[in-house]
């Protein structure tokens, strides 16, 4: 979820940090090069820029404003200190506090603090058993093969995002939960609404954003709760069965917890991986030397190449934290009740940490990017799975269509997700 857009207008050039307003919708419509320039100016300030709480269509302003953390060191430090920089008390995925009626659907562990967060994470992590992960691995391989078969049948000129990048994560999340193939499209459309509600392609009338979000949340919750009712009667080996039937310590999720966890999985696991694959394909198109290097030794170079794709793609642009007490961090004061936004995309380009940060270098080492979040209790639960999906997708593409290229990306209008909605491909 993100700020509600205003009418687009031709943005003035950014010449100094004073020209940057992260609350201005037009800022997020700027091309990558301009954003890169703007975030560099913000990183070079003596202290993080502070922005007033923005106006939202579905939630009133709920605090004095937020500090934009754009340096790698600040994001690491804030992530390590969840007692001061908390994810609960209004949520981590939105700037204004989440209104109460949203919590039912969007109030899962990403928007909680310990001990509630720890309890949920424990139950859910246990359900990711080695056996289940192994099962996903063969599913991922088979799904990627099928996607490339279908792409070859469809032929060049099609949309890489919908025909390739979106298909793999969607199938894997649905398979994990036990959602049948006939419902994939239903899940896909609703997950686009949840993370793309501010883009007119997904919610055409801006007045309807709150209604669209709540409806999508309710429908996804209903889908998984119907499935849960079946699995309680007849358990199978899917994740839904493990989450609703008691585990070895007698722990299980309530119906509401299951619903909001499913929504979190669908949005956290789908859009992010989809965008990493799309940005990765774009980066390989723009950097033929890196493609050649990868083709020379796909397996040997894959682990670093994947980290480099996630660094530059940074599909999750930011997460929010709220300051629980006055606190000094890296020489700056943060006051109780203020918010901080952890701009991962900006930290992954911090020249204090990364040599020549805008260069796509599939051999980059070390690569301490924060694309999966900073070190702390909320570090991405699906990072291993995401790495696996991205590797397998590129293995299949590089092996069977090594010359595949993409056209200009059509970007998602969002400040939260660094998304590509559509992008043609040629081969």
Question: Cα–Cα distance between 147 and 181 in angstroms, integer?
Answer: 14
How many residues would you count in the chain?
427
Contact between 414 and 203 under an 8 Å Cβ cutoff? The reply is: no
Q: Which is nearer to ligand HEM, 24 or 338 (CB)?
A: 338
Q: Which is nearer to ligand HEM, 151 or 319 (CB)?
A: 319
Closest CA to 391 of 136, 13, 40, 73: 136
Question: Cα–Cα distance between 106 and 24 in angstroms, integer?
Answer: 25
Q: Which is nearer to ligand HEM, 329 or 385 (CB)?
A: 385
Q: Which is nearer to ligand HEM, 24 or 190 (CB)?
A: 190
H/E run at residue 259: helix 255-286
Cα→Cα distances 395→143, 160, 366, 402, 424, Å = 12, 16, 23, 9, 20
Q: Smallest gap, in angstroms, from Cβ of residue 121 to ligand HEM?
A: 5
Q: Which is nearer to ligand HEM, 272 or 414 (CB)?
A: 272
Q: Smallest gap, in angstroms, from Cβ of residue 186 to ligand HEM?
A: 19
Question: Strand, helix or coil at 425?
Answer: strand
Sign of CA dihedral 123, 125, 131, 135: positive
Q: Smallest gap, in angstroms, from Cβ of residue 425 to ligand HEM?
A: 20
Q: Smallest gap, in angstroms, from Cβ of residue 66 to ligand HEM?
A: 15
Q: Smallest gap, in angstroms, from Cβ of residue 50 to ligand HEM?
A: 21
Question: Cα–Cα distance between 374 and 356 in angstroms, integer?
Answer: 21
Q: Which is nearer to ligand HEM, 5 or 160 (CB)?
A: 160
Residues that bind ligand HEM (CB under 6 A): 87, 92, 109-110, 121, 264-265, 268-269, 272-273, 276, 310, 315-316, 319, 344, 371-373, 378, 380-382, 385-386
The dihedral over CA atoms of 91, 97, 101, 105, expressed in degrees to the nearest 10, equals -20
Q: Which one-letter DSSP state was computed for residue 316?
A: B
Q: Smallest gap, in angstroms, from Cβ of residue 41 to ligand HEM?
A: 24
Nearby residues of 256 by Cβ (< 8 Å), 6 or more positions away: 104
Q: Which is nearer to ligand HEM, 357 or 382 (CB)?
A: 382
Question: Cα–Cα distance between 174 and 161 in angstroms, integer?
Answer: 18
Q: Smallest gap, in angstroms, from Cβ of residue 360 to ligand HEM?
A: 16
Q: Which is nearer to ligand HEM, 13 or 130 (CB)?
A: 130
Contact between 279 and 418 under an 8 Å Cβ cutoff? The reply is: yes
Q: Smallest gap, in angstroms, from Cβ of residue 221 to ligand HEM?
A: 16
Q: Smallest gap, in angstroms, from Cβ of residue 264 to ligand HEM?
A: 5
Q: Which is nearer to ligand HEM, 2 or 272 (CB)?
A: 272
The residue sitting closest to ligand HEM, measured at its beta carbon, is: 382
47: left (phi over 0), alpha (psi -120 to 50) or beta: beta
DSSP string, 163-208: IIITHHHHHHHHHHHT--GGGHHHHHHHHHHHHHTTSTTT-SSGGG
């Amino acid at each position: 979820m993100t700020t509600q857009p205003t009418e687009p207008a031709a943005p003035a050039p950014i010449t100094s940090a004073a020209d940057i307003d992260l609350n201005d919708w037009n800022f997020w419509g700027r091309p990558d090069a301009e954003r890169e320039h703007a975030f560099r100016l913000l990183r070079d300030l003596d202290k993080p820029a502070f922005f007033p709480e923005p106006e939202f269509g579905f939630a009133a302003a709920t605090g004095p404003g937020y500090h934009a953390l754009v340096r790698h060191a600040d994001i690491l430090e804030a992530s390590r200190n969840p007692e001061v920089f908390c994810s609960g008390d209004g949520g981590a995925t939105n700037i204004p506090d989440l209104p109460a009626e949203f919590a039912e659907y969007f109030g899962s562990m990403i928007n909680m603090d310990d001990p509630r967060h720890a309890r949920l994470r424990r139950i859910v992590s246990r359900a990711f058993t080695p056996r289940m992960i192994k099962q996903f691995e063969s599913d991922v391989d088979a799904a990627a093969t099928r996607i490339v078969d279908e792409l070859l049948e469809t032929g060049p000129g099609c949309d890489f995002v919908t025909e390739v990048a979106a298909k793999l994560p969607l199938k894997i999340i649905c398979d994990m939960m036990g959602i049948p193939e006939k419902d994939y499209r239903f899940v896909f459309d609703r997950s686009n609404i949840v993370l793309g509600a501010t883009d007119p392609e997904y919610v055409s009338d801006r007045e309807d954003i709150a209604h669209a979000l709540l409806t999508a949340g309710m429908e996804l919750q209903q889908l998984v709760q119907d499935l849960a009712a079946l699995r309680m009667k007849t358990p199978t080996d899917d994740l839904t069965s493990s989450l609703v039937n008691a585990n070895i310590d007698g722990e299980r999720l309530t119906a509401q917890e299951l619903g909001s966890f499913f929504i979190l999985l669908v949005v956290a696991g789908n859009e992010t991986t989809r965008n990493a694959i799309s940005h990765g394909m774009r980066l390989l198109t723009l950097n033929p030397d890196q493609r050649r290097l990868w083709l020379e030794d796909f397996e040997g170079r894959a682990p670093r190449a994947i980290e480099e794709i996630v660094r530059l793609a940074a599909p999750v642009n930011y997460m929010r934290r709220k300051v629980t007490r006055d606190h000094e961090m890296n020489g700056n004061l943060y006051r109780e009740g203020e918010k901080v936004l952890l701009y991962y995309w900006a930290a992954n380009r911090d020249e204090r940490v990364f040599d020549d940060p805008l260069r796509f270098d599939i051999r980059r080492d070390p690569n301490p990017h924060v694309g999966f979040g900073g070190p702390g209790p909320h570090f991405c639960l699906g990072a291993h799975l995401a790495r696996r999906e991205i590797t397998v997708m590129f293995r299949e593409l590089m092996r069977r269509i090594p010359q595949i290229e993409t056209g200009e990306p059509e970007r998602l209008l969002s400040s939260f997700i660094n998304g590509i909605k559509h992008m043609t491909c040629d081969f």
